[in-house]
């Protein structure tokens, strides 16, 4: 099931389209100084299922203020990239969430297939156990989940609680929830709405 999901080129293209919509909304809002935001993409070399990713995954959508004296960079939230992590957000969620449902052999094969070192996997586990529960992102949304989620079982408990008729919809909703973590240069609010029919 995980293998099929990570080979779905349409899903990863959908995530790019979402990022592009979010970026358009951020660009229209403009810079806090009142200046116009111009495209200033920067290169990314994400690790993950490269064989299903388009060239759009080679850059991160970002902007630079055109106002002389400001030139502030504004990087919109992303559902593709999880901050500075080199692996795609989908990988960080899915592989870690599956840790309890995989045999050691199956986990080892997945980690080999996507070139994930044991150290990287342990760092992801530590991030979910320590950094994510303490993040402003989680503190802002945790009240939406009743009964409360077990912080020690992230990300599996959160992925399991999200609504969606399949794993792709639940994963997308998870990535959208995490999108504020993906940037430190923008802290506004989005009016972007989910249309599951486009997935």
Q: What would the pLDDT profile of 62-106 be if each residue is shown by its tens digit?
A: 999 999 999 999 999 999 999 888 999 999 998 888 776 667 787
Where b means 16+ CB within 10 Å and e means fewer, 47-59 reads ebbeeebeebbee
Query: Could you tell me the pTM of the whole model?
Result: 0.89
Nearest to 97 by CA among 178, 160, 51, 144: 160
The string of DSSP letters for 93-136 reads HHHHHGGGTS-HHHHHHHHHHTT--HHHHHHHHHIIIIIHHHSH
Q: What would the pLDDT profile of 160-198 be if each residue is shown by its tens digit?
A: 899 988 888 999 999 999 999 999 888 777 765 555 445
Domain boundaries, the chain: 2-184
Is the per-residue pLDDT at 18 higher than 80?
A: yes
Q: What is the pLDDT of residue 100?
A: 63
- State how beta strands 59-60 and 73-74 pair: unpaired
């Amino acid at each position: 099931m995980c293998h099929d999901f990570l080979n779905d080129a349409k899903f990863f293209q959908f995530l790019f389209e979402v990022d592009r919509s979010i970026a358009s909304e951020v660009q229209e809002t403009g810079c806090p100084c009142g200046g116009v935001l111009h495209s200033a993409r920067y290169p990314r070399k994400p690790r993950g299922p490269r064989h299903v990713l388009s060239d759009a995954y080679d850059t991160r959508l970002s902007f630079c203020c055109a106002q002389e004296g400001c030139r502030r960079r504004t990087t919109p939230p992303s559902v593709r990239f999880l901050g500075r992590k080199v692996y795609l957000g989908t990988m960080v969620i899915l592989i870690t969430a599956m840790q309890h449902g995989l045999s050691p052999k199956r986990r080892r094969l997945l980690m080999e297939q996507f070139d994930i070192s044991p150290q990287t996997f342990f760092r992801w586990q530590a991030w979910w156990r320590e950094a994510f529960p303490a993040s402003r992102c989680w503190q802002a949304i945790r009240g939406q989940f009743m009964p409360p989620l077990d912080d020690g079982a992230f990300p599996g408990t959160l992925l399991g609680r999200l609504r969606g008729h399949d794993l792709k919809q639940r994963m997308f909703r998870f990535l959208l929830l995490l999108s504020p973590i993906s940037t430190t240069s923008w802290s506004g609010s989005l009016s972007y709405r989910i249309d599951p029919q486009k997935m």
